[in-house]
Amino acid sequence: MMKTVLMSLLLTTAVMAQDVFTTFNVKAEKEAKLVLSATGIVKKVYVDVGDKVKKGQLLLELDNSDLKTSVQLAQKKIELAEINLRFAKKSYDRYAKVKEVVDESEFDKYASAYERAKVELSKAKANLAYKQSLLNKTRLKAPFSGVIASKNIEVGDGVSAARMGTLFSLVTPKQQKMVVMVDEKYWKQLKVGQRFVYSVDGDKTKHETKIKKIYPVIDPKRRAITVEMPTKGLQIGLFGRGVLKVD
């Protein structure tokens, strides 16, 4: 009796299981199209296609000599404001000790000068931060460690903040994922963890992975659900085919 029940369950599972044939593309786990929000002429390009870069590494710089000068001037203004503040505080402290025996209006003059000096220092620091932010916008840095996949800029080219065209593509070649499109009719059957047996063009070897992520929105153009699965050792951009084992 028990054998009959087990056989019945196995047969039921086999009937319910489905092989869904689909295609996929290999993509980097992280991929970014890098742009600049500043306008200017490219002065230096520090990397080329295929170069490995680290997070925060400088990739490109616009001609920013005027901004560098303005930052230096802003730093000098801070130094001057700090000197004025020290002098104003010293005078204020001296009069504060004899506040009871000096004219009130005289003391208020030094107290007011001390407060103005503090305000001027705050304004000078804010001005430096603003100038530094403008300078930073002329420098493109890597947002994460990876490899330069494409370069669309050269020294002497103009960059426009209005257009913000892609200057570099940055990818993580050793961290990959497969993006698989599954017909929307299977939306109720898809689950994280389901097996996917696949092969890629140019290689007949069968590989296996599992669904890691199911996108919450159906692609309206392709009428398909996008799922992601981890993979490794493949070339980014490869096309392949596989069978998804759905319940």
- The letter for the amino acid at 76 is K
Q: Is residue 126 assigned to a domain?
A: yes
Q: Give the count of beta carbons closer than 10 Å to the beta carbon of residue 139.
A: 15
Return d(Cα 163, Cα 120) in angstroms, integer.
38
SS3 state of residue 84? helix
Measured CA to CA, the distance from residue 213 to residue 233 in angstroms comes to 20
What pLDDT sits at residue 17?
61
Contact 23, 231 (CB under 8 A): no
Predicted local confidence at residue 13, as pLDDT: 44
Q: Among 30-34, 140-144, 231-235, which is the least confidently predicted range? A: 231-235
The predicted model gives 160-186 an average pLDDT of: 90
198 and 151 in a common domain? no
Give the count of beta carbons closer than 10 Å to the beta carbon of residue 158: 11
Residue 3 has pLDDT above 60, yes or no: no
**How does the average pLDDT of the chain come out, rounded?**
88
> Of 141, 136, 134, 137, whose CA–CA distance to 32 is shortest?
141
Domain for residue 101, yes or no? Answer: yes
For residues 62 and 106, the model is more confident at: 62
pLDDT score recorded for residue 87: 94
Residue 161 banded pLDDT, cuts 50, 70, 90: confident
Domain residues for the domain of 128 are 65-136
Ranges assigned E (strand) in the chain: 18-28, 31-34, 40-45, 52-53, 58-62, 139-141, 146-151, 158-159, 168-171, 176-183, 195-200, 203-210, 213-214, 224-231, 239-246
d(CA 99, CA 237): 78
- Residues 149-158, mean pLDDT to the nearest whole number: 95
Residue 28: what pLDDT? 93
Q: How confident is the model at residue 109 (pLDDT cuts 50, 70, 90)?
A: confident
Residues 150 and 109 in one domain: no
| 40: Cβ contacts below 8 Å, ≥ 6 apart | 62, 63, 64, 138, 158, 159
> What digits encode the pLDDT tens for the residues 20-55?
999 899 999 999 999 999 999 999 999 999 999 999
Instruction: Using the predicted structure, report yes or no on whether residue 64 has a pLDDT greater than 50.
Output: yes
Domain containing 159 — which CATH number? 2.40.50.100
> Which pLDDT score is estimated for 16?
56
- Asked whether residue 2 is domain-assigned, the answer is no
pLDDT the model gives residue 232? 86
Query: Is 50 exceeded by the pLDDT of residue 6?
Result: no
Give the end of a domain, one of 171, 186, 216: 171
CATH number reported for the structural domain that contains residue 124 in this entry? 1.10.287
| Rounded CA Rg of the chain | 32
Q: What is the structure's pLDDT at 101?
A: 67
Rounded average pLDDT over 195-201: 89
> Given pLDDT bands bounded at 50, 70 and 90, which one contains residue 12?
very low
